[in-house]
Structure 1
């Protein structure tokens, strides 16, 4: 899922302090003009390895150990050994043969697409995540329609650079000062293309897969019975603009594919607001249907497009739009730093009246200019979206193209370029929208959201004490759950495998025997608790284990995706699903009560997603220069997010106390 964590440093081309807005000029039409073609490394990326079956079995046993009693562990070992020597061997051989016959891709790519597209649950909360962008500190650029215009232009500059092979290749630099340089690019330019990735490794610079980028724009997920499909219109010239449930197709590229001038785009958005102010909010907001259970939406869409006019508008103007721009009204809420939950909840799922969740990318812009990205997840993971998100923020911060003082080109009456989408609504569709609204409202009303900002744990503190930020926060989640709910549960942290061709994600299992040992030791009564030095040594051991698991996952040596692919192979080829998948150990591990995601970004204000199981916790977290933060979502009466977030603060306190005490003791001994 979206919960892919990629720490990376991107290189950006410098821009002139005064930017020309000549519509056909290179500085306006392209965000970047890379010396290396965008897909320069794609051909030479290594293939995602299939782990050895015996290693997968060992890693599975290690992951379930902290969740099981000794008796359960013994039974699980027998089931795993039977799997390893029996059905697992045959399925592994079949998977290897299939992989060898499809060298253009990875063994996980198609099964992962199928998993997403075949799931019938609604997209909001279950799949579509939320990234909230930092506000522009300059009021003249934060105003809603101004910010929307600048975001649209920057999005198009990104898209045109990608299409022209001018967007910088995605590369993870171990030390950007040494490799994110002109010299590195000169060496890469002369490297044989078939070996370019391996030449880059010599600089400790790791190219990443960019196959998902082509689906960022012009893509829509179409509901079908049993399995959805992705459709794409990469040559589209318009965006879908939504306002109070009404939909408008707004041209943003001219007939030759060039980005329209800033004044023209600003004028067309202002024309949308003018048109919308002249009528009531949509009585039948069709976007609500995209929040439905997928088979229900498929049936309702099939009925809706049986009307030829509706079919034409939906396919040519909605599905084919480059992306969606949702201009929310005052009544939808504005950002309040002291009380963020209402707006974040609205942006994550909300009433769905002013959303089209099926679009690959939706820019959500509140009345006060607060901006977020809500994205459909089946087509890709966080790597591509975060790159787009970061580039978008940086470009709008460097030198926006319009401000509140900008003169716009009037577009009132220009129905060729600003097209209200007036569908023909019958009683069946009216009833379907009302039903979908009620179901979505009930789900969203049952969602709780709790936030924590903890100032005593931050990037400088981690550096000062030699700590791994991610390891410490994941350890805190385990401690928080243990002390609040007296147990250990299936825990999920995603890691990108984009260092490989068509890599997706691998699962990290943060609940380990090391984290369990530390939690049990720390929660002992004071008289029997180990001294701070021993506890600190246990923290370091947790960090080492966590680091090793992260390395294995990133290198395609986890076990979750391998086991997933083996089961998928059995199902695809009509073979019995092995008994291992029916064991309590497998069920407990994959009941991801704690599901976590972090995205490191200077542009990110907040990130959130729904729990992946009804009684679970969806935890979006980050560690910044001045605090560690977490947003926890739960379903009311299923899991208690308030108890967890309070326990998390206590866990942070306890772990920080151990670190400080052990550090003081170490200095005294010296």
Structure 2
């Protein structure tokens, strides 16, 4: 094969005349270019580390401070070293070898550097104090107080110029630890609408006992951790919620992202893969160079934590632990049961889209058969974690299996060239989107490497999507990458006659087929994992529907938060669907704090339940429209306040979780904590935020709308709901549940959501107001 020849840098033979040395100049050239590329990357990372380490300082600021200080010292006839060299001269003969002018210059540089570092530390700490104030979140939409305006000016002044992705990490405040009393109070408030009086009084007694006895002791340890660690929640959350779980991560943890809803840039599978892979690699290069802009709130004023970006590429979840590998130069590709290693660099540069398409074409044209056990190998990552961990240690710790597994686990990411066709079909919109979602969520259970940070899936008809592992980061992080890819693909990169722009490379080595030697015992483990995974996948009931009756534009005319509007509609829909309320999970981010991840907004509140009851026919009381509007307003305000509390570190669920972890470390049993953490989330919801609105002009190109993404149900008898608010007039809903539950039906719930949205909007009578 061509790549085998390229791998030989030199050959030699022994002849009667001596040794005949034959150098392969092309191979040596590639080695030189590869080394040059690596050193360039090291230098860029070193430079970025320095720039981030001194931010908001800069080399220019350093020169200004040092030169200004030395000029002032010279004008005032001061000793720049403040007598430092004179004191050093008494013990170390350093001054004996330096002239007076040299001493002045060196002293001025040293003292100027100290002054510069002092200014940086002052600016960082002032900025940290400023970012610890969250009063701006309580301002009404469209109105800003004078204190908030002054605060925004100060944040702008102390934020420095041209920040990189990780520039603000040292300036972000730490996540605060709420008081045990406040957490218990808010917990009881959140479960009041879900419990009968007797059950609630019992829970109230357990909470008071915990608050008085064990709670303060556990709290002391959490306080200690919050002072010592960067974030008192995130490491335990990652370890105990994700990595220590022994159940399948497919469906239960991994989530997916969809392609455009209405746009089909090309129908050539290899070409779509070429542009998408190139766009992802460009994003990785921007990430390595620190050129990805920080994410802000409040009109680019308040920075969010960027720590989760560090593990986007070259990351694999190993059963039992997570490993992050050094930067790799290849990707792994799966097609029809075979695995290939594809290098992303040649001649010291990143492959162009047409060259990547060329590599994909070679894989698609390859007619070789899968090796025994190879086709369904990835089922190990889809089933239970313990058998996979055992098989990995037994069958993949040496030889060609280890080399091939390393090629997958150390790849930048995994690509699946799927042999099925998926897309939105206007003639069959419901079934087509449902099939599309299930394919991205679990596929055939053996054609996605679920342990990888993310899989790019390109279908036979050139539609694509992502499947992402959850432990390394939350959905907005992978969403940021996906927005970049979708914006690059059809417009900036583009196509010519369906193919990527440019020409194929005449001499490029082809993909490398990975080799496996899987004994019968290993294949039995693979089949066992596949059986578990298929049972789980077949039980998933997915329903995706675009809600186009109205969007956030009309909701804002109601002077209501779009998120609160949708969450209240979900509560109304759920009550109509099941005839009862349930514990509801809405994901909120805590990235206003260093290394923050998520917090829970318990959306089922007393106020929301009161509004929902007002919308249900009741023979004992008839509600007027004005009464319902008042209850809706109270429910929306309550929801917004709870969302603010969650974002600002005053949520209750992460605090209760950490208290429970400490209790286990201490060997203490708490009936209160045990009961709290065993309560099932029968309605789990999440909004997919659109973060880079400048990348898409939905006014001129409304067809460039993303379908968003979704996840599997959290409870066996519950619903998972993800929604994305796209532009002013569209909201896409992704609903999941389990066929095995007689209580749930994703399509029925979707119908109830649509009707609830329409019923709530009708209360405002916008048509009458317009007239």
Q: Deviations over 1:329-369 (max 9, x none)?
A: 13x54443413111211111121222101100111111122
Aligned to 1:74: 201
Corresponding residue number in structure 1 for 2:564: 471
Q: 1:389 aligns with which of 474, 482, 486?
A: 482
1:581 and 1:47 mapped to 2: Cα distance? 25
CA deviation map 1:443-475 (0-9, x unaligned): 211111223443334122102222211111111
- Provide the rounded CA distance (Å) in 2 between the counterparts of 1:556 and 1:289: 38
User: Contact between 2:400 and 2:515, CA under 8 Å: does it hold in 1?
Assistant: no
The answer for the alignment partner of 1:318 in structure 2 is: 408
- Paired position in structure 1 for 2:686: 597
Structure 1 residues 240 and 402 mapped into 2: Cα distance closer, same or farther (>3 Å)? farther
Aligned equivalents of 2:208, 2:353: Cα separation in 1: 64
**Which of the numbers 245, 248, 252 marks the counterpart of 1:119?**
245
Which 5+ residue runs of structure 1 have no aligned equivalent?
1-22, 180-204
Partner-residue secondary structure (3-state), 2:733? strand
Residue 36 (1) aligns with residue 36 (2): no
Query: Quick one: distance in 1 between partners of 2:354 and 2:628?
Result: 61
Quote the Cα distance in structure 1 between the aligned partners of 2:470 and 2:245.
12
CA offset digits 1:227-285 (Å, max 9, x no partner)? x21122232100011112211110002475x412333322222211122x454698632
**Structure 1 residues 151 and 576: alpha-carbon distance in aligned structure 2, compared to 1, 3 A threshold:** same
Aligned 8 A contact 1:237 1:254 in 2: no
- Partner in structure 2 of residue 97 of structure 1: 224
Question: Rg larger in 1 or in 2?
Answer: 2
Give the corresponding residue for 1:20. none
Give the counterpart of 1:230 among 322, 332, 342.
Answer: 322
CA distance in 2, matches of 1:643, 1:402: 41
| Contact 2:234–2:597 (CA under 8 A) maintained in structure 1 | yes
The one of 289, 306, 309 aligned to 1:210? 306
Alpha carbons 1:135, 1:370 under 8 Å: kept? no
Note the 1:218-257 alignment, pairs <5 A. 218-223=314-319, 228-254=320-346, 256=348
Q: 1:414 to 1:282 in 2, by over 3 A?
A: farther
1:647 to 1:235, Cα distance in 2 relative to 1, 3 A: closer
Alpha-carbon distance change, 450 to 77 in structure 1, aligned in 2, over 3 angstroms: same
> How large is the Cα RMSD of the aligned pairs?
2.6
CA 1:451–1:313: 2 relative to 1, 3 Å: closer
Contact 1:481 1:487 survives alignment (8 Å):
yes
Task: Quote how far apart the aligned CAs of 1:587 are.
Answer: 5.5
Does structure 2 retain, via aligned residues, the 8 Å contact 1:263–1:402? no
- The answer to whether structure 1 residue 147 and structure 2 residue 242 are counterparts is no
Give the structure 2 partner of residue 566 of structure 1.
Answer: 659
Is the 1:623–1:629 contact (alpha carbons within 8 Å) kept by the matching residues of 2?
yes
Give deviations 1:567-599, integer Å, cap 9, x for gaps: 111112x3313121234xx257x3100001111
Q: Offset of 1:409 from its aligned partner?
A: 2.7
Tell me, yes or no, if the aligned pair for 1:268 and 1:410 is still in contact at 8 Å. Answer: no
Query: 1:291 Cα deviation (Å)?
Result: 0.3
Contact 2:338/2:370 (<8 A) preserved? no
Partners of 2:164 and 2:294 within 8 A in 1? yes
| 1:138/1:581 CA distance change after superposition, 3 Å | closer
- Look up the match of 1:191: none
Matches within 5 A, 1:172-211: 172=297, 174-175=298-299, 179=300, 205-211=301-307
Distance 1:413 1:407 in 2: 15
Using a 3 Å threshold, how does the CA distance of structure 1 residues 300 and 134 change in structure 2: closer, same or farther? same
**613-622 vs 261-270, which deviates more?**
261-270
Counterpart secondary structure, 1:480: helix
Higher relative contact order (CA 8 A, sep 6+): 1
Give the Cα separation in 2 of the matches to 1:443 and 1:412: 46
Alpha-carbon distance between aligned partners in 1 of 2:195 and 2:493, rounded to the nearest angstrom: 56
1:614 is paired with a residue whose SS is: coil
Q: Work out the CA distance in 2 between the residues paired with 1:280 and 1:424.
A: 11
CA shift, 1:527, in A, is 7.5
Q: TM-score, normalised by structure 1?
A: 0.83
Question: With structure 2 as the length reference, what TM-score do the two structures score?
Answer: 0.73
Counterpart for residue 580 of structure 1 = 672
CA 441–138 in structure 1, closer or farther in 2 if over 3 Å, else same: closer
CA-CA distance at 1:410 after TM superposition = 5.1
Which residue number in structure 1 is paired with residue 731 of structure 2? 628
2:263 to 118, 137, 144: 137
Give the aligned partner of residue 711 of structure 2.
609
User: For 2:610, which of 513, 517, 520 is the aligned residue?
Assistant: 517
Residues 261, 456 of structure 1: CA spacing in aligned structure 2 closer, same or farther, 3 A cutoff? closer
Per-residue CA deviations over 1:79-127 (Å, capped at 9, x if unaligned) read 111111110100001111122122xx20011101112100111111100
- Relative to structure 1, the CA distance from residue 560 to residue 255 in structure 2 (aligned partners, 3 Å threshold; closer, same or farther) is farther
Taking the TM superposition and a 5 Å limit, the aligned residue runs for 1:45-64 are 45-64=172-191
Contact 2:251 2:441 in 1 (8 A): yes
Superposed counterparts of 1:400-415, under 5 Å: 400=493, 403=496, 404-405=498-499, 406=501, 408-409=503-504, 414-415=509-510
User: Contact 2:269/2:460 (CA < 8 Å) preserved in 1?
Assistant: yes
Give aligned pairs, total: 592
Task: Note the C-alpha offset of 1:397.
Answer: 3.8
Q: Is the 8 A contact 2:169 2:306 kept in 1?
A: yes
* Residue 222 (structure 1) shift: 0.8
Aligned counterparts of 1:634 and 1:647: Cα–Cα separation in 2:
15
Return the alpha-carbon distance in structure 2 between the equivalents of residues 70 and 221 of structure 1: 45
* 3-state SS of 1:297 partner: helix
Counterpart CA distance in 2 for 1:306 and 1:504 is 34
Unaligned runs of 5+ in 2: 1-35, 49-160, 691-695, 697-704
Shift, 1:545, TM fit: 0.4
Q: Deviations over 1:384-405 (max 9, x none)?
A: 2121111222222431165434
2:708 aligned counterpart, secondary structure: strand
Alpha-carbon contact 1:286-1:353 (below 8 Å) kept: yes
Distance 2:492 2:585 in 1: 39
- Whether contact under 8 Å (1:218, 1:233) holds in the other structure is yes
CA contact (8 A) 1:351 1:437 kept: no
Match of 2:760 among 655, 658, 669: 655
Counterpart of 1:537 in structure 2 is 630
Q: Is the 8 A contact 1:381 1:504 kept in 2?
A: yes
